[in-house]
Amino acid sequence: MVKNYDVVVIGAGPAGSTAAKLAAEAGYHTLLVDKARFPRHKTCASWINRLAFERFPDLEPHRAELVDSAFHGITFLDERLARQARWSERRPSGYLSLRSRFDNGLKDIAVSAGADFREGSGLAALSFENGGVTIRLENGDEFRGRTLIGADGAHSRVAYLSGLRRGWKANEYVLCANEDLPYSAEEIARRYSDRRPLLVALRFDGLVGYGWIFPKRDHLCVGLGGRLGPGERIQDPYRKFFHVCQERHLLPADLAPQKPYYDLDPAGAVNKGGPLVRGPVVLVGDAGGFVSGSTGEGIYPAMETALLAVELIDRGLRRGHLEEELARFQTLWRARLGGYLRDLPGGEHREQTVDRIGLIFRSRLVCGVAARAFLYGEPLTLATLARAVWS
């Protein structure tokens, strides 16, 4: 027997849970589905931009259950990890967490808002029927929705089964290695301070990307991500990054890699113009490639695209023109996120980008502007200059 819903959301990460919560709050009978059982692991550095809490202020009462610790600013490291440039803020720049904790908390908020939740069985089939979408899960359960939101990550089954995307092209993703290593909370606070920054190694060892150390409450998140050439593996530069960080006393000597996770990140993929909507189906978050092309950060744009999708669905269902409204998603996202998701200049302009990165270590003002661009996607304007100086 097929159960009917107004809105079906596949994927219970930040995009999916946000969409399910908003749809349920708007009065729509909403189903949220995830193939995993929660709480579950997700390969991610898990830094949550302050913009997410500013954009969704109703999350503030849940902050203690969603995040581990705040971070204040950023410390840039050069490609040899020899030079540092620090930019700090008085208030938190954002928050660090484990994705298992953050995602589970967002899922619980969606359920509290009235969304039904099904876990432990992935999407097996999808068909367009009578102006809606019917799905079948791997366990045989079937559901029908007037609309479907694909929020099931970079390896989206919704994208594949709906015919929106067969896979990512080589220039649409970066490869990442990441692990959260348990460590003493007291030692982390002593080594990195209570007002800890993000540590970001730009172009480590010439990589078109960066390495990172994110000191969380009782974990050290270590990772590396970038665009690699054919046949190159992310495992090798990751091991080198870890070793050099210890040589430079950026990581404790008694810390050892345990179980790095490797995955692809569709950084800047949405900028390539691929389809995001087909009839009553829309892709949000990583499933649509909504990841910053400069930093690889995707949690804030995931939540923002979920909000936009639900706004259009609400208007479309109320007016009886769902597909026409959803079609606008294909371009409307740019007004909200175009700057945040932009790519760093590459190709013929790559050397110019490298030269500008070098200025970060010679000018405090350039460091501040780069920090605001990295953290908040701000363009080079007088307002950004003022904020860089004031902060």
Using alpha carbons only, what angle is made at residue 94 by residues 65 and 91, rounded to the nearest 5 degrees?
Answer: 110
Cβ atoms within 10 A of the Cβ of 83, count?
13
Q: What share of the chain is helix, strand, coil (3-state, %, to 5)?
A: 40, 25, 35
* Global pTM exceeds 0.85: yes
For range 71-81, the mean pLDDT: 96
**Residue 89 pLDDT:** 92
Q: How confident is the model over 130-178, as pLDDT tens digits?
A: 889 999 999 999 999 999 999 999 999 999 999 999 999 999 999 999 9
C-alpha closest to that of 278 among 161, 183, 382: 161
- Residue 210 counted as domain residue: yes
Q: Residue 333 maps to which CATH number?
A: 3.50.50.60
CA-CA distance, 123 to 133, in Å (whole number)? 13
- Residues 203-227 have a mean pLDDT of 96
- In this prediction, residue 351 has a pLDDT band, given cuts at 50, 70 and 90, of low
pLDDT tens sequence across 328-340: 999 999 999 999 9
Q: How far is CA 227 from CA 147, 268, 325, in A?
A: 35, 12, 35
Note whether 197 and 257 are same-domain residues. Answer: yes
Backbone angles phi, psi at 21, to 5 degrees: -60, -50
Same structural domain, 161 and 177: no
Same domain, residue pair 152 and 189: no
Q: What range does the domain containing 164 cover?
A: 3-46+99-168+272-337
Instruction: Say if residue 242 is in the same domain as residue 206.
Output: yes
Q: Residue 356: what pLDDT?
A: 81
pLDDT tens per residue, range 102-137 = 999 999 999 999 999 999 999 999 999 888 999 999
Using 50, 70 and 90 to split pLDDT, how confident is the model at 352? low
> Do 159 and 212 share a domain, yes or no?
no
Number of domains in the chain: 3
What is the mean predicted confidence (pLDDT) over 48-72? 94
- Same domain, yes or no, for 28 and 115? yes
Predicted confidence at residue 216, as pLDDT, reads: 96
